[in-house]
Structure 1
Amino acid sequence: MDSNGIQILPPPIDFNEIFQEFTKMINLLDSMFENTRAEFSTLLYPIFVHLYSRIVNAGEIDAARQFMSNFSSHIPPAHFYQIDLLKHVIMPVQLNNIDFIQNLSDTQYGVRLSKTCHKQLESFLSKNPNIQEIVRDHIQIDIIDTPNKTVPYLDVFTGGLLGQQVDDKKQKVYYGVTRDDIVIVGDKKKKKDAKDLKKKDVNAPPPDRIPLPYISDKILEERRTAYRESIKKGRITADNAPSVCIYNALNTNGGLSCATISETSAMMALGLNDGRVVLQCLSEDYFKILKPSNQLNINEQDPDDFDTNIYEDIPLEKREKRITLYAHSSAVTSTSFSPDRRVLLTASLDRNVRLWCLEMRRDLVVYRHPSAIHQMKFCNRGLYFATSCLDQTVNVWTTERVHPIRVFSEPFGSILSLDYHPNNNYVIGGSEDRYVRMWDVLSSSCVRTFTGHKSGVRGIKTSPDGRHLISISEDGALCVWDIGQQKLAAVQRCEYAPTKVPIEFTRDGSVFAVGTPHSGITFFSLDSLIAGDPTETRVDPAGFIIHRYLTKKTPIFDIQFLKKNTVMCIGALEQ
């Protein structure tokens, strides 16, 4: 509308010109050398979607169908699902109902090009105004100095619905772990002398960067004992297979929705689809009951006897090894124990997270969310926890407040996998938009975005030393990310994984286990991967898979390594 209030209509679209420009782009792509073609092909998907949307907005149904028929086969396979959805969009009103189209309109698509490829692109754009306008308004190009890559190499890094993120690598990440958060990490720590152990890890965050609660001596001693006993048994290697024990959940009256084994494997929590939470002791211990308040004389008690004098003296025949908690009105999606195992967090589709005191058999606090909760995770200190919701946000909470202290809203899809970094300064989530994001709890910013998955992320886990990150997507691609070098270290093709996938590391971080819905549990050697060439990304590296335990009809819900490198799992028969 001009200064006189007269509406100015946009110029009419020349469909022949659009067809000719995209045809020229395809022809230019075919004439390039393979290394340049690999980079240039990353521009096809966003340009195709924007040109198709323009034709549909103009109301030209026949032209839109012809454009789709002529050029859809040239789009990289990673985006075939989006192109298949786009085939059914022939009316302007439909464009507003497709999430990925709106995301491409509102957010710039990220592309990394070498200087050589960028020069050829500039020459092409100067002669094709329609594509030039799309690149200027909707595509962010990051010019890099590294040599051009081949098609197979570049294919590993493509697949994100918004391309490659180009800005987040500029922020510093403290991926190291402080001495309070880890007891021993591998043999490298053992070989260092006392002087080296006193040196501060330059990659670890300052101790006072975020306020963290004190770790009790009891918990630290438990972790030290667990590590010592794990190395007595010997490391899990290709020649030393672990023993695996699977607990099957039967007669769940609606199905098992989630399960968690405590850090010491002393108890497990089962979340059911009918809203119940069942807790079971796996050791000789039992569930204690706190004395009534009028029987507690805390000020008169000896501190050394505090833990024993606050509990009721229960006869042997009345001691409970299994309890059931009732409160949720819908399926329980996630459970998480505090480090001292006295508190349990449960999340549900009823939009609530409940904090339970196991010694009182009741929920103490309810943390309400605006939408259903997919995943929830306690940090290893026990004060903070993170949740991911249906509204595509990740929230960080403290147990002392009923409102979140951080809200991360960058994802363009639901976050089905969530993990806390071992140093508690970062929250990591994998979402349906195919990205793995790393958020800084202090600054509330996304400091890393890892691109490479071709479908939604179903499982995620950080190594005990904080250096590596494991993620697995729906199509079965297992990715190993090096947080320190900010790159993808390896990709292993596994089985299709339509549901959440549990991932767990050994105490020393040398091996990790992955539970898949079809094949049971698979063990991978991270040490063998690190020992190889760190400069290039490897696909299906030799020696990476060391053991595989198959199940016929039992998907795995959770995995925990015991003190002597035996493995405990929870499954649900025929579910």
Structure 2
Amino acid sequence: MLASASSTVSRVGGEKCTYTECKVKQLYTTPDAEEALRKETGFYDEVPQGASDAVWSAYEAQNDPNSYADAYNSLKKFLDDALDIYKEYYYEKDIQKLRTIKKKQQMQGNIFLDTFKANQFTVRLSRDAYSSLKRFLEEKKHNLLLNIIQEHIYLDIYEGLPRTKAQIDATAGAIWGEAQHQANRSKMFYGLAREPDVQQLPWDAFDEDEAALNFQNKRRRELDKAEKVKMYRELGKKVSLSGSRLPSVCFYTVLNSHESERRVVSITLSSDSSLFALGFADGRIQILSIVPQKLRAMKNSEELQTIDKEAADVYARMLDESTASAQKTLYGHSGPVYGASFSLDRTLLLSCSEDGMIRLWSLWTWTALVVYKGHIWPVWDVKFAPHGYYFASCSHDRTARLWVTDSIRPVRIFAGHLSDVDCIEFHPNSNYLATGSSDRGIRVFDCVTGACVRTMTGHKGNPQTLVFSNDGRFLCSGGTDSDLFVWDLAHGHLLARLSGHSATITSISFSMEASILATGSLDGSVRIWDWAKLTGEISTDDVNVTHNPEVQTNSAAILKASFPTKNTSVYLVHFTRRNLLLASGVLEG
């Protein structure tokens, strides 16, 4: 309090300063100290009433709860009397939460309140609205309100007309306010390398000429020839989908897993749609094959010595047929397994757990190869990069991290979120990583520099799943607010907010040609959206950093079908290479 008073009185001089210092001495020190100050300064005369009111009232106001109530009521009356065009509504639901805090003890450990106290809350205001507010504060001499604004609020002023309530609601939501307009000014290179046109490739080219598969992206991890043939043959046979030609859906239900120890907490599918990975609450990971090919383990070292290493099918010869089974179980984690990710060639599996560990498993030996220790709190998600080798993780410690499989230390640490980082997703070109957090914000980080290049706000709940569009231009997100959000990566704007689900959206997937979008939710339904129609209605030609396009909310026109389950929460939706939609979930009760 003395420091606060000193900073206040330092702005005035002469008798006002000395008089106020004497009053502070009266309150917080002995009479001898006050007398010593008077002798040192030679000040014994009382200053006329009102001479130091401005200084002393500013100091007293900081310690008087009634002064805060009076200032708030004055500000509220000013806002109520203002023209509707200048009224910008923010976070009414969050203010209701703050009203429940009545005692000092309730403030301790309140994450929501601690965030407000430790960070400046960003509020975007038009120039006209800011001028009106500034004029009010200066005319009424609300020094207390000015101090609060300067200390706890960052006013992001923009030129142009004030926004409507709908426009504000579209971007409000994060517990730290809105994204600042300068946060999305850096250029983002979201383009992709050109892929070969599989419809134009003769199939004998796969067998005779490797040059026919001349990938332009040098970072792509080379698959063996058999994997390439399989992948492109399936892509060549895919069914074309549209708003009038919807996909077939195949649902896999996990039974007898609702008990506490046997509870399934995560479901993952390999990129070729052949393997499931189920993460259990007791730390187990179960790998299931949904194709006729069984899961086999590698032969022992003595038997491997007898194999002809020059044989074309050397990898098949290395596997022991006597160990073939439809499922395998991996043990190692000491807490619930919240996430898993298959490598592109399905020889490796990453898993993350509440124990704070990330494990790399071999799907040939069915053992853990590496344990990555970097996070100090539970790890919520882990993902391989599209081209392998790199992978990312996110945790309760509010960070996301970038790793390489051959090092036990992270090569990048992405910081900036104010709460748990709950989900992550690599951009298709592997240059960027998107993160969703319990602070209700979404960020996109550059994997090379580690810098945050996009900050997006609008979610009213925690984002739980992220996915980039196939062309890399858009980002879709879903979370506990039950809405599907579509973001423009060029400038970080929200383009669409689609409602329909009644519970948390847990998974999003694009069809192979990106004409259809599928979502799965804890409400037990799979919904199909017409992505081609949505993007066709969005005009991005005149969009820039300061001009946000109108947010599309016409969900009924975009929603094409809904497939409900009887009592199964949907954990995963996934399009196969032939555009069959696979979904999976856990039967409740």
Report 1:17-416 matches (<5 A).
17-38=67-88, 41-42=89-90, 76-80=91-95, 82-84=97-99, 87-91=100-104, 94-126=106-138, 127-166=141-180, 167-179=182-194, 213-214=221-222, 218-230=226-238, 233-235=239-241, 237-252=242-257, 254-296=262-304, 301-302=309-310, 304-312=312-320, 314=321, 319-368=324-373, 369-416=375-422
The answer for the alignment partner of 1:552 in structure 2 is 566
- The equivalent position to 1:540 in structure 2, one of 532, 535, 554, is 554
Structure 2 SS opposite 1:12: helix
Partner of 2:451: 445
Contact 2:126/2:160 (<8 A) preserved: yes
CA distance in 2, matches of 1:220, 1:564: 15
Query: 5+ unaligned residues in a row in structure 2: which ranges?
Result: 11-21, 29-57, 201-215, 540-548
2:477 is matched with which residue: 467, 471, 474?
Answer: 471
Q: Distance in 1 between matches of 2:237 and 2:372?
A: 38
Deviation at 1:479, TM superposition (A): 0.8
Deviates more, 1:17-26 or 1:353-362: 17-26
For 2:72 and 2:156, locate their aligned partners in 1 and report how far apart those are by CA, in whole Å. 22
- Cα contact 2:467–2:475 (8 A) shared by 1: yes
Contact 1:212 1:383 survives alignment (8 Å): no
- Classify the secondary structure of the residue corresponding to 1:176: coil
| Structure 2 Cα separation of the partners of residues 293 and 417 of structure 1 | 40
Write out per-residue CA displacement over residues 136-182 of structure 1, whole angstroms, 9 at most, x where no aligned residue: 22222222223322112211111111111214212222222223xx5
- Secondary structure at the counterpart of residue 298 of structure 2: coil
CA distance, structure 2, for counterparts of residue 81 and residue 290 of structure 1: 60
Q: Following the alignment from structure 1 to structure 2, what is the Cα–Cα distance between the partners of residues 141 and 323?
A: 56
- Contact 1:286/1:320 (CA < 8 Å) preserved in 2? yes
Residue aligned with 1:438, SS:
strand
Other-structure match for 1:47:
none
Q: Provide the rounded CA distance (Å) in 2 between the counterparts of 1:276 and 1:239.
A: 42
Judge conservation of contact 1:184–1:227 (CA < 8 Å) in 2: no
Structure possessing the higher radius of gyration over alpha carbons: 2
Partner of 2:434: 428
Equivalent position of 1:12 in the other structure:
60
Label 1:516 to 1:525 Cα distance change in 2 as closer, same or farther (>3 A). Answer: same
Amino acid at match of 1:388: C
Query: Which of 581, 584, 589 is matched with 1:567 structurally?
Result: 581
Q: 1:446 to 1:512 in 2, by over 3 A?
A: same
* Residue 555 to residue 382, structure 1, CA distance change in 2 (3 Å): same
Q: Structure 1 counterpart of 2:402, which letter?
A: V
Q: Structure 2 CA distance, aligned partners of 1:31 and 1:100?
A: 30
Change in CA separation of 1:418 and 1:89 when aligned onto 2, cut-off 3 Å: farther
Q: 1:456 aligns with which of 459, 462, 465?
A: 462
How far residue 213 of structure 1 moved from its aligned partner, in angstroms, is 4.6
Q: Is the 8 A contact 1:472 1:478 kept in 2?
A: yes
Seen in structure 2, the aligned counterparts of structure 1 residues 184 and 470 have a Cα distance that, compared at 3 Å, is farther
The separation in 1 between residues aligned to 2:449 and 2:436, in whole angstroms, is: 20
2:533 to 528, 531, 538: 528
Q: CA deviation at 1:480?
A: 0.7
Change in Cα spacing, 1:533 to 1:35, as seen in structure 2 (3 Å) is farther
- Deviation of residue 31 (structure 1)? 2.6
Residues 96-117 of structure 1 deviation map (CA, whole Å, 9 limit, x = unaligned): 4222322222221112222211
> Quick one: structure 1 residues 442 and 78, their matched pair in 2 at CA, closer, same or farther if it must change by over 3 Å?
farther
The residue identity in structure 2 corresponding to 1:268 is: F
CA distance in structure 1 between the partners assigned to 2:452 and 2:340 by the alignment: 26
Secondary structure of the residue aligned to 2:534 is: helix
Q: Tell me the amino acid that sits aligned with residue 514 of structure 1.
A: T
Q: CA RMSD in A?
A: 2.9
- The alpha-carbon deviation at position 216 of structure 1 amounts to 5.2
Kept in 2: contact 1:258–1:333 (CA 8 A) = yes
Structure 1 position 16, deviation (Å):
4.8
Aligned equivalents of 1:218 and 1:489: distance in 2? 41
Q: C-alpha separation between the residues in 1 aligned to 2:217 and 2:581?
A: 33
Q: Quick one: structure 1 residues 492 and 286, their matched pair in 2 at CA, closer, same or farther if it must change by over 3 Å?
A: same
Q: Aligned pair in 2 of structure 1 residues 563, 22: CA closer, same or farther (>3 Å)?
A: same
- 2:211 match: none
Q: Once the 2 structures are TM-superposed, how far is the Cα of residue 186 of structure 1 from its aligned partner?
A: 12
C-alpha distance in 1, partners of 2:75/2:382? 46
Please give the alpha-carbon distance, in whole angstroms, between the structure 2 residues aligned to 1:234 and 1:408: 39
CA distance in structure 2 between the partners assigned to 1:350 and 1:275 by the alignment: 9
Greater CA drift, 284-293 or 482-491: 284-293
CA contact (8 A) 1:78 1:158 kept: no
Q: CA deviation at 1:185?
A: 11
Where does residue 195 of structure 1 map in the other structure? none
Aligned-partner residue type, residue 375 of structure 1: D
Change (3 A) 1:293 1:479: same
In structure 2, the CA distance between the partners of 1:149 and 1:249, relative to structure 1 (3 Å rule), is same
Residue identity in the other structure for 2:446? D
- Residues 101 and 107 in structure 2, CA contact (< 8 A), matched pair in contact too: no
Call closer, same or farther: CA 1:379–1:184 in 2, change over 3 Å.
farther
Q: How far, CA to CA, are the matches of 2:386 and 2:190 in structure 1?
A: 15
Instruction: Kindly indicate whether the alpha-carbon contact (under 8 Å) linking 1:215 and 1:381 is maintained by their aligned counterparts in 2.
Output: no
Deviation, 1:485, is 3.4
Residue identity matched to 1:459: T
Residues 533 and 469 from structure 1, CA distance in 2 versus in 1: closer, same or farther, beyond 3 angstroms? closer
Matching residue's letter, 1:123: R
Q: Is the CA contact (8 Å cut-off) linking 1:457 and 1:471 kept in structure 2? A: yes
Task: Please state how far the C-alpha of 1:228 moved relative to its aligned partner.
Answer: 2.0
CA deviations over 1:373-416 (Å, ceiling 9, x no partner) = 11111111121111111222212211111122222231122222
- Once the two structures are TM-superposed, the CA of residue 443 in structure 1 deviates from its matched residue by 1.4
* 3-state SS of 2:557 partner: coil
TM-score relative to the length of structure 1: 0.81
Deviations 1:228-251 (A, max 9, x none): 222xx221x332222111111123
- Give yes or no for contact 1:168–1:449 (8 Å, CA) kept in 2: yes
**Cα gap change, 1:487/1:117 in structure 2, threshold over 3 Å: closer, same or farther?**
same
Structure 1 residue runs without a partner (length 5+): 43-75, 188-205
How many pairs align? 507
| d(CA) in 1 for partners of 2:101, 2:93 | 19
CA distance in structure 2 between the aligned counterparts of 1:186 and 1:169, rounded to whole angstroms = 38
